[in-house]
């Protein structure tokens, strides 16, 4: 296994830029529809503390579904495995991430896993707080610790845009409330969830989050525990089995690392005993994954022998 260098990152990002022509920017969230597909960036945060970057690495984006890993970590820390997995399952799904079908077919309607929208809503519903502001504050506190950056916040414009158009997620939430999986106000839950998805970072910050998971929950620089080892392991397992939507199996074969994508065009990847990688490219494939991000990770995984399998 050869170590990453900044030249490697720059070379391969330049090599795969052309694939942006094969994808489309997400347009079902109005605030994301204006993203420029030619913007691409990557960062690798090594466990020794070095951070290598390529492309427009200072560009900030919303992490969208990558936040599902972070809300799951928080719920597990606050409530433990038994409580969390009484309200969300552990199995992958071949259905699209927004599907309601399995909720109707499964008894008692528990969502299959925390990485699909229904499962993520169930997990977010568990975050402690007297109101949506406190719940968001709890999540931001965790994210800021992982990034070692107290400036991390959310994009109010994107959150508002998602709140105004989240009709399908509301349907999922109401369906689960009918079955007793979700409690409390659905609008309050949607307020938390849309702000959660609108958490804003650049690739350097996101790569550092990935490096914490690569380091089994410890800060990559100070080695201070930030997430319990068991929680980090559970999150990484879900990233392997469910992290890339209904492309997760193919991604496991072609790349073979724990990873989570978001429809903004970001992907977070975890390389065992080496570090964390983050890629951004807003042009998406049919599954909702960044086409540039997928190609970059495929090339690097092949060259660096990253696969855990």
Is 38 labelled a binding residue? no
How far apart, in whole angstroms, are the C-alpha atoms of residue 265 and residue 47?
25
How far from chain centre, in Å, is Cα 302? Answer: 23
Is 88 labelled a binding residue? no
Question: Do residues 289 and 244 make contact, with C-beta atoms less than 8 angstroms apart?
Answer: yes
How far apart, in whole angstroms, are the C-alpha atoms of residue 260 and residue 273?
18
Confidence (pLDDT) at 4:
86
Q: Is 240 among the catalytic positions?
A: no
Is 65 labelled a binding residue? yes
Q: Is 304 among the catalytic positions?
A: no
Residue-by-residue pLDDT tens, the chain, 309 positions = 678 889 999 999 999 988 888 888 988 788 888 888 889 999 999 998 899 999 999 999 999 999 999 999 999 999 999 999 999 999 887 666 656 666 766 666 788 899 999 999 999 999 999 999 999 999 999 999 999 999 999 999 999 999 999 999 999 999 999 989 999 999 999 999 999 999 999 999 999 999 999 999 999 999 999 999 999 999 999 999 999 988 999 999 999 999 999 999 999 999 999 999 999 999 999 988 999 999 999 999 999 999 999
- Which of the following is catalytic: 102, 161, 193, 200? 193
Half-sphere CA count of 157, side-chain side, radius 13 A: 7
Q: Is 245 among the catalytic positions?
A: yes
Is 169 labelled a binding residue? yes
Using DSSP, state whether 269 is helix, strand or coil.
strand
How far apart, in whole angstroms, are the C-alpha atoms of residue 143 and residue 77?
13
- Which of the following is catalytic: 231, 263, 279, 292? 263
Confidence (pLDDT) at 48:
87
- What are 274's two structure tokens? 């080496």
- Which of the following is catalytic: 19, 52, 154, 245? 245
Torsion, CA 69, CA 190, CA 173, CA 34, rounded to 10: -70
Is 52 labelled a binding residue? no
Can you list the pairs that 181-189 forms with residues at least 24 positions away whose Cβ atoms lie under 8 Å?
181/87, 181/108, 181/109, 181/110, 181/111, 181/122, 182/121, 182/122, 182/125, 183/125, 184/125, 188/131, 188/132, 189/121, 189/124, 189/125, 189/132
The length of the chain in residues reads 309
Q: How many CB atoms lie within 10 A of CB 167?
A: 7
- Which of the following is catalytic: 52, 68, 158, 192? 68
Q: Is 263 among the catalytic positions?
A: yes
Is 209 labelled a binding residue? no
- Which of the following is catalytic: 52, 65, 248, 291? 65
Q: Is 19 among the catalytic positions?
A: no
- The reported pTM is 0.95
How far apart, in whole angstroms, are the C-alpha atoms of residue 196 and residue 116?
15
How far apart, in whole angstroms, are the C-alpha atoms of residue 94 and residue 33?
26
């Amino acid at each position: 296994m050869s170590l990453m260098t900044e030249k490697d990152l720059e070379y391969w990002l330049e090599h795969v830029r052309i694939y942006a022509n094969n994808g489309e920017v997400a347009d079902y969230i109005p605030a994301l529809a204006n993203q420029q597909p030619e913007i691409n960036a990557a960062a690798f945060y090594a466990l020794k503390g070095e951070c290598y970057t390529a492309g427009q690495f200072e560009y900030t984006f919303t992490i969208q579904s990558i936040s599902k890993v972070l809300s799951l970590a928080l719920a597990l820390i606050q409530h433990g495995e038994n409580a969390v997995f009484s309200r969300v399952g552990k199995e992958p799904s071949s259905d699209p991430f927004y599907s309601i079908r399995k909720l109707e077919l499964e008894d008692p309607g528990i969502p299959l896993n925390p990485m699909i929208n229904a499962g993520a809503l169930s997990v977010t519903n568990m975050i402690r707080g007297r109101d949506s502001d406190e719940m968001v504050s709890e999540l931001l506190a965790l994210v800021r610790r992982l990034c070692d950056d107290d400036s991390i916040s959310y994009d109010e414009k994107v959150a508002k845009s998602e709140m105004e158009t989240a009709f399908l997620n509301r349907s999922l939430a109401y369906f689960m409330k009918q079955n007793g999986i979700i409690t409390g106000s659905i609008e309050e839950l949607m307020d938390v969830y849309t702000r959660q998805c609108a958490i804003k970072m650049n690739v350097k910050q996101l790569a550092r989050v990935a490096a914490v998971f690569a380091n089994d929950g410890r800060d990559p620089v100070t080695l201070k525990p930030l997430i319990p080892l068991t929680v980090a392991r559970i999150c990484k397992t879900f990233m392997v089995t469910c992290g890339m939507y209904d492309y997760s199996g193919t991604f496991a074969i072609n790349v073979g690392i724990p990873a989570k994508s978001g429809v903004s065009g970001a992907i977070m990847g975890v390389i065992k005993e080496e570090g964390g990688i983050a890629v951004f490219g807003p042009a998406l494939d049919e599954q909702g994954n960044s086409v540039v991000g997928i190609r970059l990770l495929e090339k690097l995984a092949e060259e660096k022998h990253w696969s855990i399998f």
